[in-house]
Amino acid sequence: MDNFPWLTAMMVVPLIGAALIAALPSAMAARAKELALAFSVATLALGVGALTQFDLHSMQQFQLTETHSWIESFGVSYALGVDGIAITLILMAAVLTPVCILAAWHDVPEGGSREKNYFAWTLLLLAFMVGVFAATDVFLFYVFFEAMLIPVYFLIGGYGGPGRQAAAVKFLLFSLAGGLVMLAAVIGLYMQGPRGPQGFLINSLTGLNIDPTTQKWLWLGFFIAFAVKAPMWPVHTWLPDAAGVAKPATATLLVGVLDKVGTYGMIRFCLQLFPDASEWATPVVIALAVVSIFYGAFAAIAQNDLMRLIAYTSISHFGLIVLGIFAMTTTAHAGAALYMINHGFSTAALFLVAGMLIARRGSTKISDYGGWQRVVPAIAGVFLISGLSSMALPGLSSFVSEFLVLAGTFQRYKGVGAIAALSIVLAALYILWMYKRMMTGPRPEGVVHRDLTWREKFVVAPLILSFLFLGVYPKPVLDILNPAVQRVLTEVGVSDPSPVVPAAAATESEK
């Protein structure tokens, strides 16, 4: 099985699924969701298979590599490969997709070709998500980066709530504008490299000696695209709109997985390819990240719309991830990489449980709820756990990553670390206040709803398991991430600041 193309297979399987579902005759359209679930689970199985082939102690940056020439005259190869960060993100996508398909079981009640297309688009999106994280060719990455917009666009614009068209267009335009700027930088980067038929491989473009001014421009071209995607303040405005109107399953994939392309891109491209420019830009990026953290948190507090609230919490969390990436210490970096995974799962749980509530109440307004823990106690409990994980309660997964990010940031930037730590308080505020407004209080009269169904239990079970497991024992994932993190930081050429322990305060030994 050594030469089995795991990553290609992980794209081909959902592609076949999407094509098959799209081609289903209308009489069979009701079978679309079962098929979609089967194909996404098969993809997940392949992902697990790929993980078994992944060598923690490999000397190569990328493993499971496949390289084929694609457009030789442009220097483009079909080159796939993963490092620790990429494979965990791919696995996260592969786990979240079946979960989302299960959660979206009754999203398109009218059935027929519309339902069919919904699941076909979702599977197509899965294929692109695998591709974007697995691409080790800058051009190929760009192709997936842009192509991904199409399924998301149709998922939001075709199936979302009121205002979906405007939100879908806004999403597409923000992403396209960012992406097209990146295209100019992609071409410019190629010209700086060795060119030739494999000129777009990341390996060919790493460690180049680029003139500082050019490097800064190129860095900026990439960073703008990723900042839009991540999204960071001030180019975040598309996210609340898009996530607010999208179906919960779509919002989950959008915020949980797709936006990670932004932060992943910062690590893979901004840092690895332009180390000097990244260091040059660090102060500004950190400032933007801190603004994002607090802007997202305050905006979340002010929301009365459940979906928008969760979207704003994500902006805050993405601020923390970006902070961890650009703090450039091993601890913060590992924390950021781990945070990407944890945030994916906890946001998924929040969105999907919120979706269950919305499906019952028929409203996204927080003020339309109240006292619901007496109506649907199990859902309320799950919602609370998801919320607690999102606000980084110790013992749940996000705590580990958030702590690592803050501690790592503190090593280098004490003031920033201290300020960013305040966001924990705000997180508690927006999560608990939301819970209070929706769940506590007297039981609303005459409101009877079914509590968690079996299907919904299967939706939340893997997510909650991930909180508990990664919260108590994150080591396996950190073991996968750490070599990759080390490698990136070596490429940038930074080392951790040595801890300064004043002799008098030696008892204060914690870092």
Partner 1 sequence: MDSQFTATAVNYWAIMPILIVFGGALVGVLVEAFAPRSSRHSIQVALTLLTVVLAFGALVWKSVDDQGSTLAGALMIDGPTLFLQGSVLLLSFVAVLLMAEKFGSAGADAFTPMGAAVPGSPLEAAAARAGWGTGEVFPLALFSIAGMMIFPAAGDLLTMFVALEVLSLPLYILTGLARRRRLLSQEAALKYFLLGSFSSAFFLFGSALLYGYAGSIQFGQISAAISAAGVELDGLLLPGAFFVLVGLLFKVGAVPFHMWTPDVYQGAPTPVTGFMAACTKLAAFGAILRLAYTGIDADRWDWRLAVGAIAALTMIVGSILSVAQTDIKRLLAYSSIAHAGFILVGVLAFDITGVTGVMFYLLAYGLATLAAFGVIALVRDGNTEASHIGQWAGLGRRHPVVAGVFALLLLTFAGIPLTSGFTSKFAAFAPAIAHGGRMGAVLVVIGVLCSAITAFVYVRIIVLMYFSDAKGEVVALTPSVLTTLGLAIAVILTIGLGIFPSPVLDLAGQASQFLR
Among 181, 291, 378, 421, binds partner 1 (CB under 8 A): 181
Give the separation between CA 114 and CA 233, rounded to whole angstroms. 35
Sole binder of partner 1 in the list 191, 284, 422, 465 (CB under 8 A): 191
- Is residue 72 part of the contact set for partner 1 (CB under 8 A)? yes
Indicate which single residue of 4, 54, 74, 280 sits in contact with partner 1 (rule: CB under 8 A).
74
Residue 129: CB minimum distance to partner 1, A = 15
SS3 32: helix
Residue 172 binding partner 1, by CB under 8 A: yes
**3 lines the binding site for partner 1 (CB under 8 A):** no
Backbone angles phi, psi at 80, to 5 degrees: -115, 160
Cα–Cα dist 28/166, whole Å: 32
147 vs 359, beta carbon nearer partner 1:
147
Measured from the CB atom, the residue of 254 and 328 that comes closer to partner 1 is: 254
Q: Is 9 in the site for partner 1 (CB under 8 A)?
A: no
Q: CB–CB of 235/178 below 8 Å?
A: yes
> Given the complex with partner 1, which of 188 and 441 has the nearer CB atom?
188
Assess contact for 343 and 321: CB atoms under 8 A: yes
Stretch that binds partner 1, among 37-45, 173-181, 242-250, 355-363 (CB under 8 A): 173-181
Strand partners, 77: 69
> Any residues with CB less than 8 A from the CB of 456 and at least 6 apart, and which?
103, 356, 379
Mark the segment that binds partner 1 (CB under 8 A) among 69-77, 286-294, 411-419, 440-448: 69-77
Is 23 a binding residue for partner 1 by CB under 8 A? The answer is no
Q: Is there binding between residue 130 and partner 1 (CB under 8 A)?
A: no
- Comparing CA positions, the residue from 227, 292, 288, 289 lying closest to residue 261 is 227
Q: Which of 28, 71, 208, 465 binds partner 1 (CB under 8 A)?
A: 71
Produce one character per residue of 286-295: b if its CB has 16 or more CB atoms within 10 Å, e if not. Answer: bebbbebbbb
Binding mask 449-488 for partner 1 (x = CB under 8 A): ----------------------------------------
Q: Is 183 in the site for partner 1 (CB under 8 A)?
A: yes
Closest CA to 132 of 21, 236, 36, 263: 263
Our measurement of the distance from residue 223's CA atom to the centroid of its chain's CA atoms, rounded to an integer in Å, reads 17
> Angle of helix 149-159 relative to helix 112-134, nearest 10 degrees?
150
C-alpha 244/C-alpha 310 separation (Å) is: 9
Distance between CA atoms of 262 and 140, rounded to whole angstroms?
Answer: 16
Of the ranges 37-45, 145-153, 446-454, 460-468, which one interacts with partner 1 (CB under 8 A)? 145-153
Interaction between residue 15 and partner 1 (CB under 8 A): no
Stretch that binds partner 1, among 90-98, 180-188, 370-378, 425-433 (CB under 8 A): 180-188
Using the rule CB under 8 A, give the single segment among 33-41, 175-183, 398-406, 464-472 that binds partner 1. Answer: 175-183
Segment lying near partner 1 (by CB under 8 A), choices 42-50, 138-146, 282-290, 401-409: 138-146
Cα three-residue angle 297-302-304, rounded to 5 degrees = 120
Q: List the structure tokens of 30.
A: 């009701």
Residue positions counted in the chain: 511
Nearer to partner 1, 81 or 151 (CB): 151
- When asked if residue 371 is in the footprint of partner 1 (CB under 8 A), the reply is no
Q: Report the residue number, 34 or 72, with the smaller CB distance to partner 1.
A: 72
Exposure class string for 380-415: b at 16+ Cβ within 10 A, else e: bbbbbbbbbbbbbbeebbbbbbbbbbbbbbbbbbee
What's the rounded Cα separation, in Å, for the pair 449 and 380?
A: 12
Segment 151 to 170, residues that bind partner 1, using CB under 8 A: 153-154, 157-158, 164-165, 168-169
Per CB under 8 A, the list member of 11, 50, 143, 320 interacting with partner 1 is 143
Joined together, the tokens standing for residue 260 give: 């990670």
In the complex, which residues of this chain contact partner 1 (CB under 8 A)? Answer: 70-74, 113, 142-144, 146-147, 149-150, 153-154, 157-158, 164-165, 168-169, 172-173, 176-177, 180-181, 183-184, 187-188, 190-191
